[in-house]
Amino acid sequence: MVDFTLTDEQKDLRDLAHDFAEKEIRPVAWELDRDGGFPQAIINKAHEVGLMNTHIPEEYGGPGLNSLDGCIIEEEMSWGCSGIQTSLGANGLAAAPVMLGGSDEVKREFSAALLESPKLASFCLTEPDAGSDVSGMRTRAVRMGDKYVLNGSKCFITNGSYADYFVVYAKTDPEAGHRGISAFLVHKDDTVIVDKKEDKMGQRASNTATITFNDTEVDARYLLGEENHGFKLAMRVLDYTRPGVAAMATGISRAAFEMATAYSKERVQFGVPIAMHQAIQFMIADMATKVHLSRLAAWNSAVLLDQGKRNTLESSHAKRFAADSAMEVTTDAVQIFGGYGFIKEYKVEKFMRDAKIMQLYEGTSQIQRLVIARETLLPRRIEEPATATA
């Protein structure tokens, strides 16, 4: 039996996240967007009330929420501001490879650090010359006794300027393509340099930076998974995180849809509210459908994970559809506002700018189509040449 009826506990979780988004995030979202400010105060508050690090298992001291629970939270928080949610949720992306590939000792150490105080962790995969083509990365990790030495730069790193920990993917066998990549948990020290903070079109409350590792020493116990198996680990990680990205896109769509719907009831043209015109009604109906189906796709891909099943195809469906729908819904929302939609005072344009990144990070919409095509044409084909970005 398929049933997406939320439990009472999940409804309470949704209410908690929505209340936080409404009272803590929305009042400052447009100011932080305008100034490109970092939401440290909100991060501190979210950590205090338990809306961060929800992915950490109970055995390591965390709340142990499942993937569907995470999607519920991420939609509500992104309804508040997806840029702030990206800052709040980035620990989940960084923690996934640790939980999947780290030793029990490393998992406990890392979990304790994140739970004790609002520390941040960043996921470092993308490079200037290696976005969707992960195999083209140039960052190197050389084994020297009981440690590795890392050198190279990573770009588009969420929370990079503020992170205490980095999960870094590097070549340990430069001649082996995607089969020569390994993953490491790196603690920030003086050899880890923030080179550049990006000035972004959207999600401006999320810090994005270029990080350089200069002879950074990493104890061998912080190797995540097996040496030269980092690509497979990264692909598993994205299967885990893409349902949440789809939920974030749903939150953006829903926020724009609600704002446009309310405006259509207030704006009078030709003697009646524009919501009375069939052209607007059809736009509203299409937006409602896209929000609804985006949520269902995100939840379906999450539930498969919670059932211990492989969700590669479903998570790509969800991420692709929800991201593309977010761009379409927010564009239509601006259209419904007419000329006012182009004015920052009316706020709806922020959703349109925020939505664009959903088609780009954690695998572009084109990469999702490649994954969907391969999973459809060659079912169960797990290891492929590098085609992902984060």
362 is an active site residue: yes
C-alpha angle 212-215-220 in degrees, rounded to nearest 5:
110
Burial annotation 196-215 (CB, 10 A radius, 16+ → b, else e): eebebebbbbbbbbbbbbee
Three-state SS annotation for the chain:
CCCCCCCHHHHHHHHHHHHHHHHHHHHHHHHHHHHCCCCHHHHHHHHHHCCCCCCCCHHHCCCCCCHHHHHHHHHHHHHHHHHHHHHHHHHHHHHHHHHHHCCHHHHHHHHHHHHHCCCCEEEECCECCECCCHHHCCCEEEEECCEEEEEEEEEEEECCCCCCEEEEEEECCHHHHHHHEEEEEEECCCCEEEEEECCCCCCCCCCEEEEEEEEEEEEHHHEECCCCCHHHHHHHHHHHHHHHHHHHHHHHHHHHHHHHHHHHHHCEECCEEHHHCHHHHHHHHHHHHHHHHHHHHHHHHHHHHHCCCCCHHHHHHHHHHHHHHHHHHHHHHHHHHHHHHHCHHHCHHHHHHHHHHHHCCCCCHHHHHHHHHHHHHCCCCCCCCCCCCC
* Annotated catalytic residue, options 127, 314, 362, 375: 362
Catalytic residue numbers, as ranges: 362
